[in-house]
Chains A and B, each alone.
Chain A
Amino acid sequence: MTITDKRETQEVPLTAHSGSFANSAFTGLSTFAASLILVLLAAVAAFLITEAWPALTDGGAVLAEKVQWIKPEDGESLIQVIGYLVFGTVLISTIALLIATPLSIGIALFISHYAPRRLAAGLGYLIDLLAAIPSVVYGLWGAIVLIPVLQPFYQWLGSTFGWIPLFTPNPLTGEVSPTGRVALSASIVLAIMIIPIITAVTREVFLQTPKLHEEAALAMGATRWEMIRMAVFPFGRSGMIGATMLGLGRALGETMAVYMILSVGLSYSFNILQSGEHNTIASYIAGQFPEANSYGVSALIAMGLALFIITLLVNMLARWIVSRRSEFSGAN
Chain B
Amino acid sequence: MTDRTLTDTSALGELTYRRKFVNSGMTVLVYIAFAVALIPLVWLSYTVLTRGVDRFMVNSNGDHVFNLEFLQQSMRGVFGGSPEGGILHAMWGTVIITGVAALISIPIGLLTSIYLVEYGKGRLKSAVTFFVDVMTGIPSIVAGLFAYALFAILFGPGTKTAVTGAVALSVLMIPVVVRASEEMLRLVPNELREASYALGVPKYLTVLKIVIRTAFAGITTGVTLAIARVIGETAPLLIAVGVADSLNFNAFSGRMMTLPVYIVSEWRKGEAVCNNPDVLCVPEITEYRAWAAALVLILIVMALNLVARLISKYFSPKTGR
Binding site for B on A (CB under 8 A): 14-17, 19-20, 22-23, 25-27, 29-38, 40-41, 43-44, 47-48, 50-51, 102-107, 109-111, 114-115, 123, 125, 128-141, 143-146, 192, 195-196, 199-200, 204, 207-208, 211, 220-226, 228, 245-246, 249, 252-256, 259-260, 282, 285-286, 289-290, 294, 297, 300-301, 304, 307-308, 311-312, 314-316, 318-319, 329-332
Q: Is the CB of A249 within 8 A of B139?
A: yes
Partner of A37, one of B29, B135, B193, B232: B135
Partner of B190, one of A51, A140, A211, A331: A331
Contacts of A22 in B (CB 8 A): 202, 204
Q: Tell me the total A-B contact number using a CB cutoff of 8 A.
A: 315
Q: Is the CB of A141 within 8 A of B48?
A: yes
Contacts of A224 in B (CB 8 A): 23, 26-27
Please give me the residue from chain A that is nearest to B184 by CB atom.
A204
A33 to B106, CA, bound (A): 11
Q: Is the CB of A134 within 8 A of B186?
A: no
Q: Is the CB of A132 within 8 A of B225?
A: yes
Contacts of A134 in B (CB 8 A): 231-234, 260, 294, 297-298, 301
Please give me the residue from chain B that is nearest to A149 by CB atom.
B43
Please give me the residue from chain A that is nearest to B304 by CB atom.
A132
Which range holds the interface residue count of chain B? 35 or more
Q: Is the CB of A106 within 8 A of B186?
A: no
Contacts of A301 in B (CB 8 A): 145, 149
B249 within 8 A of A: no
Please give me the residue from chain B that is nearest to A32 by CB atom.
B111
Contacts of B186 in A (CB 8 A): 329-331
Q: Is the CB of A34 within 8 A of B225?
A: no
- 10 residue pairs A–B, Cβ–Cβ below 8 Å: A23-B202, A30-B114, A34-B112, A38-B128, A104-B37, A134-B231, A134-B297, A225-B22, A304-B142, A329-B186
Smallest beta-carbon distance B60→chain A, Å: 24
Contacts of B263 in A (CB 8 A): 136-137, 140
A15 to B199, CA, bound (A): 6
Q: Is the CB of B142 within 8 A of A48?
A: yes
Contacts of B305 in A (CB 8 A): 125, 128-129, 132
Q: Is the interface of B mostly helix, strand, loop or mixed?
A: helix
Q: Is the CB of A220 within 8 A of B11?
A: yes
Q: Is the CB of B149 within 8 A of A114?
A: no
Q: Is the CB of A145 within 8 A of B47?
A: yes
Q: Is the CB of B301 within 8 A of A132?
A: yes
Residue of B146, B208, B231 with highest tally of chain A CB at under 10 A: B146
B137 within 8 A of A: yes
Contacts of B1 in A (CB 8 A): none
Binding site for A on B (CB under 8 A): 9-12, 15, 19-20, 22-23, 26-27, 29-34, 36-37, 40-41, 43-44, 47-48, 107-109, 111-112, 114-120, 124-125, 127-128, 130-143, 145-146, 148-150, 152-153, 157, 171, 174-175, 178, 183, 185-190, 193, 199-205, 207-208, 221, 225, 228-229, 231-235, 238-239, 260, 263-264, 267, 287, 290-291, 294, 297-298, 301-302, 304-305, 309, 320-321
Contacts of A222 in B (CB 8 A): 10, 12
Q: Is the CB of B137 within 8 A of A314?
A: yes
Contacts of A200 in B (CB 8 A): 225
Q: Is the CB of A50 within 8 A of B149?
A: yes
Q: Is the CB of A249 within 8 A of B34?
A: no
A128 to B205, CA, bound (A): 32
A294 to B228, CA, bound (A): 33
A218 to B224, CA, bound (A): 37
A314 to B137, CA, bound (A): 8
A312 to B189, CA, bound (A): 33
**With A102-B33, A255-B141 given, is the CB distance from A221 to B10 under 8 Å?**
yes
Contacts of A332 in B (CB 8 A): 190
Partner of A51, one of B120, B149, B225, B320: B149
Contacts of A195 in B (CB 8 A): 37
Contacts of B36 in A (CB 8 A): 103
Q: Is the CB of B188 within 8 A of A41?
A: no
Contacts beyond the supplied A37-B174, A331-B190: 18 A-B pairs with Cβ under 8 Å = A27-B204, A34-B111, A47-B146, A47-B150, A51-B145, A105-B33, A107-B34, A115-B34, A137-B298, A140-B267, A196-B41, A226-B19, A228-B26, A255-B234, A294-B157, A308-B138, A315-B136, A330-B189
